Structure 1
Amino acid sequence: MSTQFEAWFFNNRLPQIRYMMLFTAPLYMLYGFIEFQMDLPMPELRVFFHGLFIPSILMVVFGMTYVPTFTTVMKTLLFFSPIVAIVGNLYLNVGTAAFDCFVPEIYLCMIWTLAMSGLSIRLGSLAVLVYVILTLLFHYSRDAEQPFMFLYFLWMLSSAVFGLVTAIFYRQISLSIYQQQQKLAEIADMDNLTHLLNRHAMQRYFHQSQQAQHLPISVLMIDLDYFKQVNDTFGHMVGDGLLVEFGKLLQEHVRRGDRVGRFGGEEFCVVMPNTQLTQAQTVAESLLAIIHNHHFKHVDSLTASVGVAQALTEESFEGVLTRADQALFLAKSDGRNNVKIFLPTSAVYA
């Protein structure tokens, strides 16, 4: 779930990243313009760096938020662009009288990186550590110690803490929302009585398997024989309990990649990826034997009828389901407690 959440979390932060780039770029352009008006060394380099270079990187990231294939490159730029900005700040200003005017950029970069850049907490914290190391290196390499250096680093630490707390809090809220969404999705995909997959979820699994594997997929339609008599004799409470028990029995005896669902009443379905028609028939016959030999609560034994069909190339779930239903109808008409398959080549039953 961790990988799935990380992908969900990042995708949900894309609008935030997009608008942060859109608003930060003109701020840097304004930053460069103001620097040009001040009596500072290397004014042309300052204008190029803050007024053109950094905004260009930010707008490139802005464009990448619309192209999923550039996600890795975008994260790389999100990591390095504030480092480049701070290197430029330190290179241009450490040791000058105006340095105190430019220190806030470092504080803001720390908060921005941790809380607003879209980087993971791990990468954001690593970037902030790089900022601190770079700041120390520039100060001591140029012998530019401040008289109240401890206060300077106290504000850096405070900025890092504020950004980190915000990032952790936002992530925890997002995780809670994600987990709630997962629970709601599970409930939406679940049959209320048996807790098996419902028709909609089975359809989605069929199409996912079809698109991912491009291999044969077979479908079983299973119907309990004479189940109405069970309800009439023992009542619906007993009948519901038998349906739950029957669903568990199917789940325990299908293969790992197969999915069992309930479509309502006593009708069940099994989607079997990477399964030829003859293999599905063998599984169906095995299930019938297991059902017949199982001792159900309140009812000594039950039987079932099964219809089997294999999906044609690019066939819809409804299409293969219709043919499996037709085979099931023939199995019930032919005395029940048997398996019938729909042969797609000749459009007949066997």
Structure 2
Amino acid sequence: MRRAARVVGMLGAIIASMAFVVPDAGTSIVVGNQRVIAVLISFGPRPFARASVTAAMAEANTFVTRSSFGRVSLQTTTTPWIDGGAVSPSCAASSERIFAPLRAVAAGAGYQTSPYDRVFYIVAGPDCGFHGIEFGNEVFIVREPDARLIIHELGHTFGLPHAGASAVCGTWCVTQEQGDLYSPMGIGFTDFSAYEKEQLGWIPRQPRVARTGNYLVYPSNLRSIGRQALVIEAPEGEYWLEQRPGRAAPGMIVRLVNPETTSRSFIAPSTLLLAPIKTGHPVITPGQTFRVPGEFSVKVARATKTPMRLNVSLSATLR
């Protein structure tokens, strides 16, 4: 979760965003084995078993290992339930005031968290208006965690913001800050986006289009990590053209990133275009053309199998 709202303008496309910043979320490059500790703390109830947390962490490891093509794995230690005492953390407190007592509880039970790359405090008792929050490399979760929640909060510790989405709107519109249909940093749980993977160092820099021509974009797999997206750089930001994950037939989705919105804590947020051609249709299918007037057009070639073939026409201003 991120305590924030994001407002964007559409001048033919989205050109700006604002995001709440917290200290030291970490660098964007994340590779290697991540040592994780899941500290179970109870302020009264113990509503779920330690084994269920262990299973959810294992599922999260499977997801991130697959998504990163083996470049990241999670080695997780799950503690038994620890008695947190009589007073549970205040959900409305500052991040430091939430996490400091939890660190103390863990240390008092003999668990030093500093050697770990990521720390999850899974706390039973507080009744908060959120499921989890992140502070640097630490996460505070107040419900039984599943793999989806773990991956989402883990992404924040990697330096990923929420993945937003926006339908067609006028000069100004408010995005769905966490509206991406596919990324776990939105409301999806299919796969991280090619943009997120590039920023994390899981795939090489994807091709930037410099001239009109025909291009191939492959589904997410290890054999084609250099061609999992096509990027068109425009005045309002970068358009990331990607094969819709989980689809066997060609189908293009479009995300827009304004690199200037990178913060001290997070990479620049992405926004999935929910209606790149018409309302209610986020996927551009074979035979359809996506256009940004005065800048470029991209036609998805008629085909029944991937890789997706794109015909890109750039205006003189982008060449």
TM-score by length of 1: 0.22
Larger relative strand fraction: 2
Name the structure where helix makes up a greater proportion of residues: 1
